[in-house]
Amino acid sequence: MFLKVFICLALLANLTSFAAGADLYAKYKKPGASFVVNKKLSPGANIFLHESPAIALEAVAKADPKNPNTGLRKAYEAFAKHFAGGQTPIETVKDGAIESKNGDIPFRMYRNHEPKQDRVIVYVHGGGWARGNLNTHDELCRRLCSNTNSVVIAVDYKLAPEHVYPAGFDDVKAVYDWVLQNRSSFGIDKDAKIIMAGDSAGGNLVTALNLWLIDNGKDLPHKNILLYPALDLSIPEETDNDYANGYLLTQDSINKFVIGYVGSLEKAISDTKNDPYLSPMLASPEQLAKLPNTLIISAECDPLEAQAKTFISKVKAAGNNNIAQHVEPGMIHIYAQFFRVFEGASKSLEKMVEFIG
C-alpha cells in the first residue's frame, strides 16, 4: 500500500494541463505498473480511474473512523486538490453566510474588476448530496468567473445524511431568494439576470428549484446549466445501462446516495416515485413547458447521460424547445471540475461560457 501511494503521489506531482494522446499514457506505463486502458475512455479518464483509488484510500485513512462520511468527504477534497489544477487568479474571493430559518448557509463570492452588470451565476456543487463543499469546486467557479467576467456565488448547502431532504433543497431556495433580493450589493445591476448552474446532485437541486419556482409563481432563472444532473432518483431493481458499473459512478452508488439523501430505503422507494422536487423526472408537462433556457452537459460514459436524454425528450414533448444537451466523449461522471486531468473539462467550460453569452 505504501509503495502504491508513493507511486501515486509521485505521478501526480508531474501532472500538467495536457492534451489527449498516446504520449499521455507513456507517463503511467511504468515497469510493473498495473495500468489498464479502457479504450472507450479518454486518456485523462483512464488516468483518473487508475490513480483515484489510492488517493481516496489515503484520505479515508486520515479521517475520523467513527464517521464514515468524513472519509468520503476528505477523499473528494483530495481529488480536488490533486486533479482540479492551479488556482485561477480572481480579484476578490470572499466567504460569507446567509441567514435562514434553518441556520446559516455559507457561500463564496468570486468577483473580478468591473464584472458584467447584467448577470450573476449561482453555482450549486455536486457530491451525492453528501459531500462536496466550497473548496471542491473552487477552481471551476474561478474559471466561470474569469472566463465570463461574471460574479459567481457558490452555495455550501447542508449535507446528508446529517441533514436529509429537504434540508439541502431548502438551502438552495433560500440562497436563490437572497441573491434575487441583493443583486445590487454585489456591484452589479439590481435587476441582473440569475444563471443557475450545478453538477450532479447540484444539477438535481437546480432543476428542483426551477420546478418549485414555477409552482409558486416566482421569478425564474434566466438560464440553467446542468452538468451531468441526477434527474431520476428512483431505485431500479435492475438496469441495462452500459455505464452502470465500472465507470466511477455506478448504479449501486447512486442508490446509496439517494437513500442517504432521503433518509431510508423505504422512503427512497416511495418518495422518488411521487415528489418531482426530489426526482425531477416526475415533473408534469405543465411544469416542463415553463422551464427556462437550459443546457445539459453530459459525460458519455456516465449512467446519468441516459437520464438527460429522457428528460430532454419530456421537456420537448411538453412543447418547450429551450433545452439542449452536449455530450463530452470519453468522459466519466465528475470530470468537469478537474481541469488538470480531464481533457473534456476545458471543452465543457467553453460550452458553458458560450451558453452564458
Cβ neighbour number for residue 65 with a 10 Å cutoff: 9
Catalytic member of 42, 146, 150, 200: 200
Identify the CA nearest to 215 among candidates 157, 151, 283: 283
Q: Which amino acid is at 117?
A: Q
From 138, 199, 271, 302, the catalytic residue: 302
Cell numbers describing residue 180: 434575487
Other beta carbons within 10 Å of 40: 15
> What's the grid cell of residue 241?
445501462
Q: In Å, what is the CA distance from 331 to each residue of 19, 32, 227, 341?
A: 14, 27, 12, 11
Residue 338 carries which side chain, given as an amino acid letter?
F
Cα–Cα distance between 341 and 84 in angstroms, integer? 8
Q: Is 42 a catalytic residue?
A: no
Tell me whether residue 222 is one of the annotated catalytic residues: no
Give yes or no for a contact between 225 and 355, defined as CB atoms under 8 angstroms apart: yes
| CA contacts within 13 A on the Cβ side of 50 | 25
302 is a catalytic site residue:
yes
Residues 204/197, Cβ–Cβ less than 8 Å: no
Whether the CB-CB separation of 63 and 317 falls below 8 Å is answered with no
Cis-peptide into 115, omega within 30 deg: no
Distance from CA of residue 54 to its chain's centroid?
22
Continuous segment of H or E residues that includes residue 333: none
Q: Residue 39 burial (CB < 10 Å; 0-12/13-18/19+)?
A: exposed
Instruction: Please report, in angstroms and rounded to a whole number, the separation of the first and last CA atoms in the chain.
Output: 48
Catalytic-role residue among 50, 156, 333, 348: 333
Burial class (CB in 10 A: 0-12, 13-18, 19+), 321: exposed
Catalytic (active-site) positions: 200, 302, 333
